[in-house]
Each structure stands twice: as C-alpha cells, then as structure tokens.
Amino acid sequence: MTDPDWVAHAIWWQIYPLGFVGAFPADPPPRPDEHRLLRIADWLDHAVQLGCSGIALGPIFASRTHGYDTTDHYRIDPRLGDDADFDRLVDEARRRGLRILLDGVFNHVGTDFPRYRQALDQPEGGDTRWFRRSRDGFATFEGHGELIALNHGNPEVVDYTVDVMTHWLDRGADGWRLDAAYAVPERFWAAVLPAVRERHPRAWFVGEVIHGDYPAQVQAAGFDSVTQYELWKAVWSSLNDGNFHELDWALRRHDEFLDTFVPLTFVGNHDVTRIASRLDDPRHLEHALVLLLTTGGTPSIYAGDEWGWQAVKEERAGGDDAIRPEFGPRPTDHSDTLQLHQYLIGLRRRHPWLHTARTEAIAVSNTGYVYRTAADGGELTVALNVGAEPLRATLPRPGQIVAGSGAPPPDHVSDVVVPPHGWVIVASR
C-alpha cells in the first residue's frame, strides 16, 4: 500500500462547489467579484462538527458549464472567485485541521480550451497532437461533443498534467481525485504520478474507476486508491432486495482489495442518486451508514446526505442538477440522521483500525446479516436486520452494545436480538 500515513484517519466531506454556491446552473452566472468560493469556508465548522477530517472538492477550475469541461487548469473558475479565494479557503481549512482534495479532469477538456481552439484554427499545427483523433475528427469523451479527449500518448500532455497537479499541491492541496481515470491509459498515470510524488510524497491520489479489476488497475496506474462502486451498489441493492448474500459476496471481494490498497468508500456522491432516494425503505438509511462506517476503506460523506436529503439523478440534460443543489445557511436542526452520522463517524475516529478492517460473516440470510469487522487487535460485531421479524444472533465472543436500535445497551451480552428493520454494533470485551 502507498497511502500516506494521514489517510488512515481521513474521512471526507464531499461537495460539488459550483452547485454548492449556486454558480451552476445560474443565469446570469456569478461575477468573479462575488467570491462565492468563500461560502464554502462558512461550512468548514460543520465538517468538523460532523467529524470529518477533510473536504473533497469537485471541480473548481475555469470551465464553461459544469466544471468537467475545463478551460484553464491554472485558474479558479471566475464564477467561484480567484486565486486569493482559494488561498483563503486552504488557510481556513488548515486552521481547523482539515485537508483538501481536488478534482482533476485530465481525460478531456472543454471546447474553449485554448490549445483545442488553436488546433481547430490550424489543423496542421502542433496543437492537434494534444488530442485524440477519430474517423470524424477529434475524439470526445463518451460521445459528449463538448468534452474533447486528450491524447495521453503525447509527452507534452504528460508534462502538462504533472505541472498542473504539482502547482495546486504547492498551493496547499493534499491530493487529487482523478476524474474518469478508467478512460485514461494506465501507462499515462504511471508516467504522471511518480513525477508528482517526487515533489509531494505525502499527496494522495484516488482514481475514479467504475468497474473492472481494481487491484490490477491500482498497480498498473500507481493510484493510492480507487472509488469503490462495487460496494456502493451492493449496499443499496442488498437492502432493497432483501439479499444480504449479494452484500456478503461484495465484502469478500472488498477484503481482497484491502490486501493491496484501501478503496474510497461511499454511499453517495455527486454522480449518483442520493442514498435516501435510492433506498426503498427509509428505515434502511441507517443500515447503509452503518455499513459504510464499520467496514474497511477511506469513507466519504456527500454533503446533504447527513440530513437524509433526497434527489434523483436523471439521464438527460440537466439531470445532475437535483443531486448538486445550492446550499444556503447552515441548518440549525439536529435531526436523527445527522446525529447518527456524528456518532458513527466518532466511533470510527475512536477505532482508526477500521481503515483496513476485514469482515467475516457470522450469519447470512436474505434479510439478516451478522459480521465481524477486525484489524490490528480491534474488533466489532455488527448485526443488520431488514426483515419483519426479530433477528437473533449469537456473538463470536461476548461484548458491549455500543450502538443500535431499541433499548439502552446492556454492559455484557453473548447474544443479541435485533428488532425488525434494526441494527446493533457490539464491541468485544
């Protein structure tokens, strides 16, 4: 594993800045002198109170629309503000002990990217070598005409990416989420990341990967981590279908990943329907969160999920807008969902060994799942019940109930009865 040591304690609060501050969609768009990036600083205390240790930012660099159509990787998006605003945000985060993760779009650029404009104006010029070609002209990302695919075999693109990543790490960032990493040749990352690590050996790099052989991709590309979409899908699908066998299979595969790297785990992000809308039964939102925070990985909480916000992603133009809303003033209510987030994040912070914990199934049925999660001498037993009847479970060893549904916890138990649609966490004695 190549994780820097600080990542063992990392829990991210992820936001999509352009939506968060009301900069996109917006008509007219904000002016640079509105300094909307600083609105994020007003929320940093919330991230701390939630229990998170870092802010994972979506795109903040100059673009025409949603941020993934980059125009200038060296410039803060004018709809958000300017360089001074970024410096202020980093300073405010540092003052609270929060790290910063940036979102790097290096698979493609927007149609206003200067070298692309030059390539159109001078079809025989050297700038055309910056972009992949198709039979019809310049290649695009997954058919999106406004996203022009970079030529990752061009050494100039390698050097450019190294310089951009190093520039913002020099400015105070702690790492990069590498957007659409699955669409980029692994040899490109294998050339870029070592060069960046020469300057910033403690930086962290997570590739956005949807499916495939995660360990092989990590090894070939040199990522520290990848996005764990397999486990994300298994969590909500098993809860909806009453099929914990699917979840058990995914967790056994997850354990294999942990032999070589620690995945970025989540139950929500800026690209998917919110977990509160994805689940058929709202009572099972708690189960999803318990799974996220009691299994191995580097967890990420998508802003708004801590209040159980609902929104559905749609496959259409503007279909992401609902899941990327503007945030107004900080809510003052302390809902049950928020308090559960705070408690379970706190539990994880008190048990940092959970970062690399492996799980072992104690009992599996369609609607009941009991598992042991353990690493480095630490151990918890978790029992989940999505059925209509109580679930009785014998523990692998006696312990104390530290969280769960029902009555106040007894001091010493050898077995538990989990109420219908309930859950229990037991710390071994």
Regarding beta strands 133-134 and 137-138, do their DSSP bridges make them parallel or antiparallel, or are they unpaired? antiparallel
Beta carbons within 8 Å of 115's beta carbon, 6+ residues apart: 109, 127, 130, 131
Rounded to whole angstroms, the Cα distance separating 153 from 177 reads 21
Rounded to whole angstroms, the Cα distance separating 35 from 239 reads 42
Residue 81 has a pLDDT of: 97
Regarding beta strands 61-63 and 70-76, do their DSSP bridges make them parallel or antiparallel, or are they unpaired? antiparallel
Rounded to whole angstroms, the Cα distance separating 429 from 416 reads 15
Give the chain's end-to-end CA distance (angstroms, integer): 30
Domains and CATH numbers, the chain: 7-356 (3.20.20.80), 362-428 (2.60.40.1180)
Eight-state DSSP code of residue 142: T
DSSP-derived 3-state class of residue 344: helix
Structure tokens at 274: 């919110």
The answer to whether the CB of 82 falls within 8 A of the CB of 89 is no
Rounded to whole angstroms, the Cα distance separating 150 from 132 reads 6
pLDDT in tens, 339-386: 999 999 999 999 999 999 999 999 999 999 999 999 999 999 999 999
Rounded to whole angstroms, the Cα distance separating 128 from 151 reads 9
Rounded to whole angstroms, the Cα distance separating 415 from 397 reads 9
pLDDT in tens, 412-423: 889 999 999 999
**Residue 10: how many other CB atoms lie within 10 Å:** 23
Residue 411 has a pLDDT of: 76
Rounded to whole angstroms, the Cα distance separating 91 from 173 reads 11
Question: Residue 118 — φ and ψ, nearest 5°?
Answer: -65, -35
Q: What is the pLDDT along the chain (429 residues), one digit of tens a residue?
A: 678 999 999 999 999 999 999 999 999 999 989 999 999 999 999 999 999 999 999 999 999 999 999 999 999 999 999 999 999 999 999 999 999 999 999 999 999 999 999 999 998 888 899 999 988 899 999 989 999 999 999 999 999 999 999 999 999 999 999 999 999 999 999 999 999 999 999 999 999 999 999 999 999 999 999 999 999 999 999 999 999 999 999 999 999 999 999 999 999 999 999 999 999 999 999 999 999 999 999 999 999 999 999 999 999 999 999 999 999 988 877 799 999 999 999 999 999 999 999 999 999 999 999 999 999 999 999 999 999 999 999 998 899 999 998 766 777 889 999 999 999 999 987
pTM assigned to the model: 0.97
Residue 286 has a pLDDT of: 98
Residue 6 has a pLDDT of: 98
Beta carbons within 8 Å of 306's beta carbon, 6+ residues apart: 50, 337, 338, 341
The answer to whether the CB of 140 falls within 8 A of the CB of 149 is yes
Structure tokens at 273: 């329907």
The answer to whether the CB of 110 falls within 8 A of the CB of 91 is no
Residue 360 has a pLDDT of: 97
E-assigned strand segments in 180-272? 204-207, 225-226, 264-266
Eight-state DSSP code of residue 29: P
Question: Residue 340 — φ and ψ, nearest 5°?
Answer: -65, -40
The answer to whether the CB of 108 falls within 8 A of the CB of 147 is yes
Side by side, which strands form the sheet with 175-178?
225-226, 204-207, 175-178, 99-104, 54-57, 12-15, 298-302, 264-266
Side by side, which strands form the sheet with 144-149?
108-110, 144-149, 140-141
Regarding beta strands 391-404 and 423-428, do their DSSP bridges make them parallel or antiparallel, or are they unpaired? antiparallel
pLDDT in tens, 58-116: 999 999 999 999 999 999 999 999 999 999 999 999 999 999 999 999 999 999 999 99
